[in-house]
Protein backbone atom coordinates (compact mmCIF):
# COMPACT_ATOMS: atom_id res chain seq x y z
CA UNK A 1 0.00 0.00 0.00
CA UNK A 2 1.55 3.27 -1.12
CA UNK A 3 1.38 6.32 1.11
CA UNK A 4 2.06 10.03 0.68
CA UNK A 5 5.53 9.51 2.11
CA UNK A 6 6.35 6.53 -0.10
CA UNK A 7 5.29 8.40 -3.24
CA UNK A 8 7.41 11.42 -2.34
CA UNK A 9 10.39 9.25 -1.39
CA UNK A 10 10.14 7.35 -4.66
CA UNK A 11 10.18 10.58 -6.67
CA UNK A 12 12.55 12.78 -4.64
CA UNK A 13 14.73 10.28 -2.81
CA UNK A 14 16.04 10.95 0.68
CA UNK A 15 18.70 13.64 0.17
CA UNK A 16 17.67 16.94 1.83
CA UNK A 17 19.74 19.03 -0.60
CA UNK A 18 17.75 20.18 -3.63
CA UNK A 19 20.70 20.34 -6.04
CA UNK A 20 21.81 16.85 -5.05
CA UNK A 21 18.24 15.59 -5.37
CA UNK A 22 17.95 17.04 -8.87
CA UNK A 23 21.20 15.38 -9.89
CA UNK A 24 20.40 11.99 -8.36
CA UNK A 25 16.79 11.82 -9.49
CA UNK A 26 17.18 13.46 -12.89
CA UNK A 27 17.43 10.15 -14.74
CA UNK A 28 14.14 9.03 -13.18
CA UNK A 29 12.44 12.32 -13.94
CA UNK A 30 13.54 13.17 -17.46
CA UNK A 31 14.90 10.12 -19.30
CA UNK A 32 12.56 7.85 -21.24
CA UNK A 33 13.16 4.38 -19.87
CA UNK A 34 10.76 1.49 -20.50
CA UNK A 35 11.79 -0.17 -17.23
CA UNK A 36 10.95 2.96 -15.26
CA UNK A 37 7.62 3.33 -17.03
CA UNK A 38 6.77 -0.30 -16.22
CA UNK A 39 7.77 0.13 -12.57
CA UNK A 40 5.61 3.23 -12.14
CA UNK A 41 2.68 1.47 -13.81
CA UNK A 42 3.07 -1.54 -11.52
CA UNK A 43 3.44 0.46 -8.32
CA UNK A 44 1.10 3.38 -8.81
CA UNK A 45 -1.63 2.60 -11.35
CA UNK A 46 -4.05 1.59 -8.60
CA UNK A 47 -3.42 4.78 -6.66
CA UNK A 48 -3.86 6.87 -9.79
CA UNK A 49 -7.32 5.37 -10.21
CA UNK A 50 -8.07 6.03 -6.54
CA UNK A 51 -7.02 9.65 -6.98
CA UNK A 52 -9.16 9.98 -10.10
CA UNK A 53 -12.21 8.64 -8.24
CA UNK A 54 -11.70 11.04 -5.29
CA UNK A 55 -10.86 8.17 -2.95
CA UNK A 56 -7.74 10.05 -1.82
CA UNK A 57 -9.47 13.36 -1.18
CA UNK A 58 -8.16 13.37 2.41
CA UNK A 59 -4.67 13.87 0.98
CA UNK A 60 -5.59 17.42 -0.03
CA UNK A 61 -5.38 18.46 3.63
CA UNK A 62 -1.58 18.79 3.62
CA UNK A 63 1.00 20.23 1.21
CA UNK A 64 2.75 16.87 0.98
CA UNK A 65 -0.52 15.08 0.25
CA UNK A 66 -1.43 17.60 -2.41
CA UNK A 67 1.98 17.15 -4.04
CA UNK A 68 1.54 13.37 -4.01
CA UNK A 69 -1.81 13.74 -5.78
CA UNK A 70 -0.24 16.03 -8.37
CA UNK A 71 2.55 13.52 -9.02
CA UNK A 72 0.00 10.72 -9.36
CA UNK A 73 -2.10 12.59 -11.92
CA UNK A 74 0.45 14.72 -13.76
CA UNK A 75 3.84 13.01 -13.84
CA UNK A 76 3.08 9.34 -13.40
CA UNK A 77 0.56 9.00 -16.27
CA UNK A 78 3.23 10.35 -18.63
CA UNK A 79 5.33 7.34 -17.67
CA UNK A 80 2.56 4.76 -17.34
CA UNK A 81 0.82 5.61 -20.59
CA UNK A 82 3.62 7.17 -22.62
CA UNK A 83 2.67 8.09 -26.20
CA UNK A 84 -1.03 7.37 -25.65
CA UNK A 85 -3.96 9.74 -24.97
CA UNK A 86 -4.14 8.40 -21.41
CA UNK A 87 -0.86 10.15 -20.67
CA UNK A 88 -2.82 13.42 -20.58
CA UNK A 89 -6.17 12.09 -19.36
CA UNK A 90 -5.68 13.19 -15.76
CA UNK A 91 -4.17 16.62 -16.39
CA UNK A 92 -7.38 18.42 -15.42
CA UNK A 93 -7.24 16.86 -11.96
CA UNK A 94 -3.60 17.78 -11.49
CA UNK A 95 -4.29 21.38 -12.56
CA UNK A 96 -7.23 21.66 -10.18
CA UNK A 97 -5.17 20.41 -7.22
CA UNK A 98 -2.24 22.60 -8.24
CA UNK A 99 -4.41 25.72 -8.31
CA UNK A 100 -6.20 24.77 -5.11
CA UNK A 101 -2.88 24.27 -3.36
CA UNK A 102 -1.43 27.55 -4.62
CA UNK A 103 -4.54 29.44 -3.50
CA UNK A 104 -4.09 27.95 -0.02
CA UNK A 105 -0.36 28.70 0.06
CA UNK A 106 0.50 25.02 0.31
CA UNK A 107 3.26 25.25 -2.29
CA UNK A 108 5.21 27.63 -0.05
CA UNK A 109 5.51 24.94 2.62
CA UNK A 110 7.40 22.62 0.26
CA UNK A 111 11.05 22.43 -0.72
CA UNK A 112 11.90 24.37 -3.89
CA UNK A 113 12.62 21.19 -5.84
CA UNK A 114 9.20 19.86 -4.82
CA UNK A 115 7.57 23.10 -5.88
CA UNK A 116 8.91 22.58 -9.41
CA UNK A 117 6.68 19.52 -9.70
CA UNK A 118 3.83 21.18 -7.84
CA UNK A 119 3.74 23.77 -10.65
CA UNK A 120 4.24 21.40 -13.60
CA UNK A 121 0.50 20.95 -14.28
CA UNK A 122 0.49 24.62 -15.29
CA UNK A 123 3.48 24.09 -17.59
CA UNK A 124 1.75 21.07 -19.13
CA UNK A 125 -1.44 23.06 -19.76
CA UNK A 126 -2.53 24.20 -23.22
CA UNK A 127 -3.96 27.38 -21.66
CA UNK A 128 -1.91 30.55 -22.06
CA UNK A 129 -2.94 32.01 -18.65
CA UNK A 130 -1.74 28.77 -17.02
CA UNK A 131 1.55 29.07 -18.89
CA UNK A 132 1.95 32.68 -17.79
CA UNK A 133 1.41 31.67 -14.17
CA UNK A 134 3.90 28.83 -14.58
CA UNK A 135 6.62 31.18 -15.80
CA UNK A 136 5.92 33.60 -12.94
CA UNK A 137 6.09 30.89 -10.28
CA UNK A 138 9.22 29.22 -11.63
CA UNK A 139 10.84 32.64 -12.06
CA UNK A 140 10.39 33.23 -8.34
CA UNK A 141 12.04 29.89 -7.60
CA UNK A 142 14.97 30.72 -9.84
CA UNK A 143 15.37 34.21 -8.38
CA UNK A 144 15.27 32.95 -4.79
CA UNK A 145 17.97 30.41 -5.62
CA UNK A 146 20.22 32.97 -7.35
CA UNK A 147 23.85 32.56 -6.37
CA UNK A 148 23.20 29.52 -4.21
CA UNK A 149 24.07 25.89 -4.85
CA UNK A 150 21.76 24.53 -7.48
CA UNK A 151 21.14 27.90 -9.09
CA UNK A 152 21.80 26.52 -12.54
CA UNK A 153 19.32 23.73 -11.87
CA UNK A 154 16.47 26.16 -11.34
CA UNK A 155 17.60 28.35 -14.21
CA UNK A 156 17.20 25.26 -16.39
CA UNK A 157 13.68 24.69 -15.12
CA UNK A 158 12.85 28.31 -15.87
CA UNK A 159 14.16 27.93 -19.42
CA UNK A 160 11.82 24.98 -19.95
CA UNK A 161 8.91 26.96 -18.52
CA UNK A 162 9.60 29.73 -21.04
CA UNK A 163 9.83 27.24 -23.89
CA UNK A 164 6.48 25.68 -23.00
CA UNK A 165 4.93 29.14 -22.70
CA UNK A 166 6.24 30.25 -26.07
CA UNK A 167 4.81 27.21 -27.85
CA UNK A 168 1.36 27.77 -26.37
CA UNK A 169 1.55 31.48 -27.13
CA UNK A 170 2.39 30.65 -30.75
CA UNK A 171 0.10 27.68 -31.44
CA UNK A 172 -2.45 27.54 -28.63
CA UNK A 173 -1.52 23.89 -28.08
CA UNK A 174 1.46 21.55 -28.06
CA UNK A 175 1.90 20.34 -31.65
CA UNK A 176 3.86 17.27 -30.54
CA UNK A 177 0.68 15.95 -28.90
CA UNK A 178 -1.30 16.11 -32.13
CA UNK A 179 -0.35 12.66 -33.37
CA UNK A 180 -1.04 11.06 -30.00
CA UNK A 181 -4.40 12.79 -29.58
CA UNK A 182 -5.51 12.33 -33.18
CA UNK A 183 -5.37 16.03 -33.97
CA UNK A 184 -4.50 17.24 -37.46
CA UNK A 185 -1.41 19.44 -37.55
CA UNK A 186 -1.41 22.71 -39.42
CA UNK A 187 1.28 23.35 -42.02
CA UNK A 188 3.06 25.69 -39.59
CA UNK A 189 2.98 23.03 -36.87
CA UNK A 190 4.31 20.39 -39.25
CA UNK A 191 7.28 22.60 -40.08
CA UNK A 192 7.81 23.39 -36.40
CA UNK A 193 7.82 19.70 -35.44
CA UNK A 194 10.89 19.19 -37.62
CA UNK A 195 12.83 21.60 -35.45
CA UNK A 196 15.04 20.49 -32.59
CA UNK A 197 13.36 20.99 -29.23
CA UNK A 198 9.83 21.09 -30.61
CA UNK A 199 8.63 18.37 -28.27
CA UNK A 200 9.13 17.47 -24.64
Domain ranges of the chain: 4-192
CA distance 64 to 67: 5
Residues of the chain above pLDDT 70, percent: 96
CA distance 167 to 189: 10
Nearest-5° Cα angle at 77, 75 to 80: 120
93 neighbors 73 (Cβ within 8 angstroms): yes
- Indicate the average pLDDT of the chain: 94
Would you state the pLDDT for residue 196? 86
User: Which has the closest alpha carbon to 81: 181, 8, 167, 7?
Assistant: 181
- Burial (CB < 10 A; 0-12, 13-18, 19+), residue 55, is exposed
pLDDT in tens, 143-195: 886 555 556 788 899 999 999 999 999 999 999 999 999 999 999 999 999 99
CATH of 4-192, one of 3.90.1570.10, 1.20.1740.10, 3.40.470.10, 1.25.40.10: 1.25.40.10
For the CA atoms of the chain, what is the radius of gyration? Answer: 16
pLDDT (mean) for 56-72: 98
Amino acid sequence: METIDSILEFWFGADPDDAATAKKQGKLWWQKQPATDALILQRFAGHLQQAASNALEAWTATPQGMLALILLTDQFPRNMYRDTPQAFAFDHLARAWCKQGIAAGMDLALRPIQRVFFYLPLEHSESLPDQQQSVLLVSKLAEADHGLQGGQTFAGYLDYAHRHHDIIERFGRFPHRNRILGRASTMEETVFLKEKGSSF
